[in-house]
With several copies, the nearest count.
Chain A
Amino acid sequence: MAVRANDSGKPAKPEKKRGRTWHALANPARFLRLARAVFPWAAGVAAVCIIAGVVLGLFVVPPDYQQGDAYRIIFVHVPAASLAMIIYAIMALSGAAALIWRHPLADLIGKASAPVGAAFTFINLLTGSLWGQPMWGTWWVWDARLTSMLILFFLYLGYIALHAAFDDPTKGARSSAILALVGAVNLPIIKFSVDWWNTLHQPATISKLDAPSIDSSMIAPLILMFVGFIAYYLLMLTLRIRSEIIARRIRNLRLAQAAR
């Protein structure tokens, strides 16, 4: 017989590939268990570090001799900028993994990270311009660093919009993975070109951004906030991946219903 069904039409369970570390997480149930274990730790570290950082930054560290209290915004501003860039790098890496190994977890990491990264970028832009008003007398200047940050924000928005535009989550994930990689190639170019463009026209503005050597008492809250933000990112990542897995199950139930 040329055409044959396997026994009684029941689906054969695909064999689980074991041994490779990557596949240790290849099973959503196992991932969810891991996520449940990570959750309290991430939440705890985030809460402790951020609260400690805020207390230190607002009340303990002495005011700046030049800027008064306004500079305290740096404790949000700088870690947010770092996270914005780190998260984009993670998205690009997981995008490469998604395209090469086609692993669903890599897909999910990208989708779950993007809004968090966009939020940190936005926080950086917001705190920066809030700070800029007292310092520079204007909310915004077309400075190199500011401009490349704004473009990073657009790259995030494009990623989110592209992902959301697909009905099929795996297609959305692969497409936005391609976009993340292209954007990652472009990101240093943007930074470089914008730097160059700016120095041609207005070399003066940048110097304001170059921090004077930071007082050692300011390092502690900065590091605390940075660690807190990282923990917060991990927390959001696991939470968002978990809810995405659940959302997909619901979606699949609906699809199964449609397919009868």
Chain B
Amino acid sequence: MVGPFLALIGRDLRLAFRGGIGSLVSVVFFVIASALFPLGVGPELTLLERIAPGVLWVCALLAAMLSLDRMFHDDHEDGSLEQIALGALPLELVALAKAIAHWLTTGLPLVLAAPVLAVLLNLSTEGFVVLIVSLLIGSPILSLIGSVGAALTVGLRRGGVLLSLLVLPLYVPVLIFGVGAVEAAIHGLGERSHLLILGGGLVGALVLAPFAAAAALRLALE
């Protein structure tokens, strides 16, 4: 089981690296979208400081979401997915491997880019570390929930935008607790409980999402 699982993650990473800039694009979206807000809202530092945690989290969420549709799409289109399904790995683990690869190629870069943007948006120093920690715990949840949405829409024309519609409502709790942690830290209210809930969400998503995604993939392969 471990061999095929790692082979799948390894292949996805290799494809992402070969994709060149193409695979960095979700980070770039994150940066550009976050940078649009000072342009849209105006440059007042206090205002920016106030909305920074929310804007950063929303943009990270949108960036993670935008790259979801490629999670299964290519593999479905060119028939790799059915070959993988005929392999030794149960579809549940296939979905999990895909979600992990997605997180490694999009979620992790987002976490790494966040500090720079936090400076850009004048996030107060109290929130800095917590922002990164909350992204680190929250973004894998986004990839996992996203894997369900991606699997549900994989064979569809116009899947990409439909995917947003399916996944965004499910992302709301992650957003609320993620932002909540940062704001709590800024106001000195103690971010621990928010982060613990996020952690619980991560465990729940790790356990449940692969099953839902596998059920959806099974349908897509019929």
Contacts and interface: CB of A to CB of B under 8 A. Distances in A.
Interface of A: 99, 129, 138-143, 147, 150-151, 154-155, 157-158, 160-162, 164-166, 171, 174-175, 178-179, 181-183, 185-186, 189-190, 193-194, 196-198, 200-202, 205
Residue of B119, B197, B219 with highest tally of chain A CB at under 10 A: B219
Contacts of A196: 176, 180
Contacts of A162: 152-153, 162, 166
A159 B170 CA distance: 12
A194 B156 CA distance: 32
Contacts of A190: 169, 172-173
Contacts of B48: 142
B165 A158 contact: yes
A183 B169 CA distance: 9
Interface residues of B, number: 47
Interface stretch (B34-42, B77-85, B86-94, B131-139): B34-42
B168 A185 contact: no
Contacts of B216: 175, 178
25 contacts: A139-B120, A142-B39, A147-B39, A154-B35, A154-B165, A154-B169, A158-B165, A158-B166, A161-B162, A161-B165, A162-B152, A164-B20, A164-B21, A165-B153, A165-B159, A171-B219, A171-B222, A174-B219, A178-B152, A178-B215, A182-B148, A194-B176, A196-B180, A197-B180, A198-B43
A157 B201 CA distance: 24
Given A161-B25, A165-B22, A178-B148, A197 B170 contact: no
Nearest to A155: B169
B14 interface: no
A138 to B, nearest CB: 7
A150, A181, A183 — most chain B CB neighbours (10 Å): A150
B21 A160 contact: yes
Contacts of B51: none
Query: Which residue of A161, A171, A186, A202 has the most chain B CB atoms within 10 A of its CB atom?
Result: A161
Among A155, A158, A161, which residue has the most Cβ atoms of chain B within 10 A?
A158
Contacts of A175: 152, 216, 219
Nearest to A189: B173
A202 B184 CA distance: 14
